[in-house]
């Protein structure tokens, strides 16, 4: 029996900056039945408040998990310094959290940015060849932007990890980190959590690694890595599928 549902953000709850109507109705329906809804998002461009606004406040802020929050929690827990490759949002966020940002850091910390920079790769190389860690908010291969597919954080993560032969610690899906937090917070068994998303590798992959149930919303996004979901639907049939899975 499903007792909580986690939704992917981009492509599932919203597209570009617009929330998706079908999913909104599903969340209302679940709420009426006392089933908790969560967001488990790989985004490293916005914080949970911005996500809350983007989804029209349909899921409470305290039920929104982002890969960046988990990564920041880890960095603070370890008490390490970082050299960030990412957007200004992340750099400010890390600084505001009191995390030490230096060039000669304990770890390279990667998140999404469109500002690729050879000098950053050189500094990251020096840290990694010196035995530093490689942390990544996510390793998304691509994402759907307002004008189609765009390269994701994965290009930076894999440039570093594969070129310098260092394993990256990835906090976003398909890592089970966010789903494990939800299971723990709800105090439910793992198979009582349903993950709903549109990317097989990350959304369904995270569900598999956490041991949850999974539902794939099929669309036209290329799936480079195939992972089979427990259920598959198109967006129009989402409500019917949820009713049959959760039980009306």
Q: Which residues bind a second copy (CB under 8 A)?
A: 114-118, 121-122, 125-126, 129, 141-142, 149-152, 154-156, 158-160, 162-165, 222, 224-225
Greatest extent of the chain over all pairs of C-alpha atoms, in Å: 57
DSSP 17: T
- Cis preceding linkage at 174, omega within 30: yes
Cβ closer to a second copy: 169 or 185? 169
Helix, strand or coil for residue 124? helix
CA–CA gap between residue 80 and residue 74 (Å, rounded): 9
Tell the smallest beta-carbon distance from residue 86 to a second copy (Å): 13
Tell the smallest beta-carbon distance from residue 191 to a second copy (Å): 31
Cβ closer to a second copy: 36 or 120? 120
Tell the smallest beta-carbon distance from residue 247 to a second copy (Å): 39
Tell the smallest beta-carbon distance from residue 133 to a second copy (Å): 17
CA–CA gap between residue 127 and residue 221 (Å, rounded): 35
Q: Kindly tell me the burial class for residue 122, based on how many C-beta atoms sit within 10 Å of its own C-beta (0-12, 13-18, 19 or more).
A: exposed
Cβ closer to a second copy: 35 or 205? 205
For residue 39, list its beta bridge partners.
7, 64
Tell the smallest beta-carbon distance from residue 193 to a second copy (Å): 29
Cβ closer to a second copy: 64 or 166? 166
CA–CA gap between residue 64 and residue 51 (Å, rounded): 8
Cβ closer to a second copy: 156 or 215? 156
Q: Do 101 and 83 form a contact (C-beta atoms < 8 A)? A: yes
């Amino acid at each position: 029996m499903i007792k909580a549902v986690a939704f992917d953000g981009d492509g599932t709850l919203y597209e570009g900056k617009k929330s998706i109507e079908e999913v909104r109705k599903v969340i209302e329906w679940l709420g009426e039945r006392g089933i908790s809804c969560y967001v488990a998002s790989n985004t490293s461009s916005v914080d949970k408040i911005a996500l809350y606004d983007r989804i029209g406040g349909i899921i409470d802020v305290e039920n929104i998990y982002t890969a960046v929050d988990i990564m920041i929690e880890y960095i603070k827990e370890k008490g390490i310094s970082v050299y960030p490759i990412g957007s200004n949002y992340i750099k400010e966020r890390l600084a505001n959290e009191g995390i030490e940002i230096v060039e000669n850091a304990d770890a390279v910390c990667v998140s999404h940015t469109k500002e690729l920079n050879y000098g950053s790769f050189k500094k990251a190389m020096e840290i990694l060849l010196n035995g530093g860690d490689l942390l990544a908010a996510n390793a998304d291969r691509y994402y759907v932007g307002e004008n189609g597919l765009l390269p994701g954080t994965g290009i930076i993560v894999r440039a570093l990890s594969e070129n310098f032969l260092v394993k990256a610690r990835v906090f976003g899906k398909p890592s089970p980190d966010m789903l494990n937090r939800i299971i723990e917070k709800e105090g439910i068994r793992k198979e009582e959590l349903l993950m709903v998303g549109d990317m097989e590798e990350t959304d369904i992959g995270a569900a598999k690694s956490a041991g949850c149930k999974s539902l794939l919303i099929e669309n036209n996004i290329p799936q480079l890595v195939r992972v089979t979901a427990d259920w598959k639907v198109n967006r129009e049939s989402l409500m019917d599928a949820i009713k049959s899975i959760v039980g009306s």
